[in-house]
Structure 1
């Protein structure tokens, strides 16, 4: 029964969007975008608190209220860590011991509507504003970002280049919003009228049509030395995304890893990251 409901509920959403679009394409698109942008998971779980409470915590003003920043002080360069969709700053615990051994000054944040940050909606553009604020405060020389956090980081660097940034690590980054949106359409089975409404809404609200929002387009001006890691069998974001991004960058290395899936939480990938940071 549970599996049946998991399959049926998305189709019910799609049926509702299709029906609503017959009366108001704009309304159907607005609700479809809200559903798309609402995380189901990512808030702090009980077993995550001990690690996060070991940091100095700082709440910073954002358009949604306040967002949470975690700081583990080190004497080396400052590194900013940006998690992905339905995650939070705890996802960096696997990498934390190696970053501490390098004596890095570690900053991590919870994205909008994730972890201990306020808000109910999450988009790459909304996330990029938190990243921008954090960069202004701490001027990191290194940024490590995962999944949509990587997309948001590259978007921010395109619009607000960081003078302090020397090294960038992108982990399992998506490239094309169109691929993501077509997957959303397929999952919910909503029609092209709803999709076209979403396209028009995104252009009006954010200034980009769906087909034009690509990480590779925002990566072209990044001059920081960059490492892009992507697992060859990533089932969430296909490896082709990383290959497309690296082709547009001036000073980037792409490594197709053999372990870790989308999370990339393996010793192989940690070694790649550490070696890059030490080089």
Structure 2
């Protein structure tokens, strides 16, 4: 190999490493908002060690009728404060956590396996959940967990990332990167983060074995979401057929959607619905 080619390969490797680091580390750690603090201060807080890092678990209620709420990438447990308050009013026992690299947890990053380990342990402690409410990356982890033994009576998927491949593609397209850099990020994930996975791209997907997930599903997605296109919400709802109901909101984007009053009410109505929840699929424009 001539020196110029070798130098180009080194530059590519360095660029790939920088992009990989950018992809796998949350960019900043969000803080609790003023209107979230009073709810979080009432929580019973504990720690859960996962792969050498400490996740922080927050619980409310008497432990009966547990509802697990799972945050997404670059988010935190406190973003569910309004939903927690409403669920408490309805007699549920909300459980939320800060994953490694997020909120009050230790560490600089989290993997899908970290999320799965936390969800599995909380399921072991609480048993079947009345519902799981999950946002973005957390929604992907939820469907993987359901495929692998976690039980919930119903599921709410908000701004859901459909699969891990979508994450990588959206990242590289968003930065207007060349296709070979997309391939390099994928390769580094396979080698450095998930080396024991036979096929992480099929395992870490909402759609894997969708026919086996038979619980009622509420899919909520905003038409102005610039992180995960609303088309992905429609795609997920279609994959689950008459088990799913789709709610499309407006002007809430990817993050503000969690605290929006209409979304909190949709969650409350869904988790308290009777067994006849299998309504026809519909799109509701929340204004």
- TM tier, smaller: 0.7 to 0.9
Matches of 2:160 and 2:33 in 1, distance apart?
28
Cα distance, 1:78 vs. partner? 0.5
Worse overlay, 205-214 or 171-180: 205-214
Cα distance, 1:213 vs. partner? 4.9
Pair 1:194-2:181 in alignment: yes
Contact 1:111–1:127 (Cα < 8 Å) also in 2: yes
Aligned twin of 1:147: 136
Contact 2:61–2:88 (Cα < 8 Å) also in 1: no
Cα distance, 1:148 vs. partner? 1.1
Pair 1:256-2:248 in alignment: yes
Q: Spell out the pairing of 1:19-58 with structure 2 (5 A cutoff).
A: 22-23=9-10, 29-45=16-32, 47=34, 49-58=37-46
SS in 2 for 1:145: strand
Number of residue equivalences: 259
SS in 1 for 2:102: coil
Structure of higher RCO (CA pairs closer than 8 Å, 6+ residues apart): 1
Contact 1:154–1:215 (Cα < 8 Å) also in 2: yes
SS in 2 for 1:276: helix
Gap runs ≥5 in structure 1: 1-18
Q: Deviations over 1:139-178 (max 9, x none)?
A: 22211111111111112222x2224x10111111021433
Aligned twin of 1:170: 157
Worse overlay, 191-200 or 52-61: 191-200
Contact 1:88–1:110 (Cα < 8 Å) also in 2: yes
Pair 1:245-2:239 in alignment: no
Gap runs ≥5 in structure 2: 1-5, 274-287
Worse overlay, 19-28 or 77-86: 19-28
Aligned twin of 1:221: 212
